[in-house]
Amino acid sequence: MNILAIESSCDETSAAVITNGNIRSNVVATQLIHTQYGGVVPELASRAHQQHILPVVDKALNDAKIGKKDLDAIAFTKGPGLLGALLVGTSFAKSMALGLAIPLIEINHMQAHVLAHFIDAPKPAFPFLCLTVSGGHTQIVKVTSPLDMEIIGETRDDAVGEAFDKTAKLLDLPYPGGPLIDRYAAEGNPQAYPFPLPEMPGLDFSFSGIKTSFLYFLQKQVRQNPGFIKENIKDICASIQYTLIDILLKKLKKAVRETGIREIAIAGGVSANSGLRNSLREMGDQLGWNVYIPAFEYCTDNAAMIAMAAHFKYEAGEFCDQTVSPLARMEF
């Protein structure tokens, strides 16, 4: 059983092929055009998806050594994401499924991030908790089975990836700044500049206040010494990263206490952060959790995770019809 999966929710055009639950190919074309604008420009993303989608799909089929006629279903990201970007992948998938007379499978991008854990071993046992952290979302998800997930905590304002990227912008680092903060942080002192943690009840997060704290702190320091950022970039990045990770892991710890679940996974673009990966491993060792961290290639946006989610939906017989439309906001 071969499924072609397409991902186009933000600034990565990606296609993957999965055969009987095994990923055979995963092609990702990253749109570099956004770097010069300091963030993703939706209209440019849509145009770039249109340019990339055909060669990306062709390469995914070639890498998997199969032809279009060998496909049993086409899956695509229905949402959440940028509507214009989602439309490109959705329209492409619908046309291809219609032309080949095979079923269509709609996928929720955030659920697919969680299901990326089933691409390679070791795979988490059910039920598990997944901290899903990306440019647009910050969620703690309770996963009871591949198709049964519940958000038990989420951000009330900004996503943690957004906090990384916007803070990086204040530091004059190019977009996306998250990976650059990570790189500088590795050589800095995380205790150099302490920041107050936000108070947020329950399992929900807030990152808008801490973003403002970073802004005021930097403005004050630069007023006193215009060279402050350049001279202390490693310590600044380490301190900011330490604070963001602390906010995430404190809530995760609380979620473990409240649910009693000790199978813990992370997913989404920010799960590529080396500080988060190391801190989570350490916390897991100390508290007796089984921790699952995806390979780097399956952290940021990719179609392999869409294909994995599609595999479970195909097995459950969950298909959609040609009237389907993408959704910028999409619930579980």
Strand partners, 74: 4, 104
Contact 5, 115 (CB under 8 A): no
**Out of ligand KG4, Zn ion, none, which partner does residue 279 contact, by CB within 5 to 8 A per kind?**
none
Nearer to ligand KG4, 215 or 316 (CB): 215
Q: Does 300 bind ligand KG4 (CB under 6 A)?
A: yes
H or E stretch at 16: strand 12-19
Restricted to residues 93-122, the positions that interact with ligand KG4 (CB under 6 A) are none
Nearer to ligand KG4, 165 or 235 (CB): 165
CA distance 19 to 288: 35
Nearer to Zn ion, 218 or 330 (CB): 330
Among 163, 272, 301, 303, binds Zn ion (CB under 5 A): 301
Nearer to Zn ion, 241 or 302 (CB): 302
Q: Does 134 bind Zn ion (CB under 5 A)?
A: yes
Restricted to residues 2-61, the positions that interact with ligand KG4 (CB under 6 A) are 10
Number of residues that bind Zn ion (CB under 5 A): 2
Region binding ligand KG4 by CB under 6 A among candidate stretches 94-102, 139-147, 196-204, 268-276: 268-276
Which amino acid, 252?
A: L
Among 79, 84, 103, 136, binds ligand KG4 (CB under 6 A): 136
Region binding ligand KG4 by CB under 6 A among candidate stretches 25-33, 133-141, 279-287, 316-324: 133-141
Among 89, 176, 294, 326, binds ligand KG4 (CB under 6 A): 176
Gyration radius of the chain's alpha carbons:
20
The torsion region of residue 330 among left (phi > 0), alpha (psi -120 to 50) and beta comes to beta
**Out of Zn ion, ligand KG4, none, which partner does residue 176 contact, by CB within 5 to 8 A per kind?**
ligand KG4
Q: Does 270 bind ligand KG4 (CB under 6 A)?
A: yes
Task: Tell me the DSSP string of 19-66.
Answer: ETTEEEEEEEEE-GGGGGGTS--HHHHHHHHHHHHHHHHHHHHHHTT-
Q: Which of 189, 185, 114 is nearest to 148 (CA)?
A: 114
Q: Which of 124, 135, 130 is nearest to 149 (CA)?
A: 130
Among 84, 178, 190, 326, binds ligand KG4 (CB under 6 A): 178
Contact 110, 117 (CB under 8 A): no
The torsion region of residue 21 among left (phi > 0), alpha (psi -120 to 50) and beta comes to left
Q: Does 80 bind ligand KG4 (CB under 6 A)?
A: no
Q: How many residues does the chain have?
A: 332
Q: Does 304 bind ligand KG4 (CB under 6 A)?
A: no
User: What is the number of the residue whose Cβ is closest to ligand KG4?
Assistant: 269
Q: Using CB under 6 A as the criterion, which residues of the chain lie in contact with ligand KG4 when the complex forms? A: 10, 134-136, 161, 164-165, 176, 178-179, 182, 268-270, 272-273, 300-301
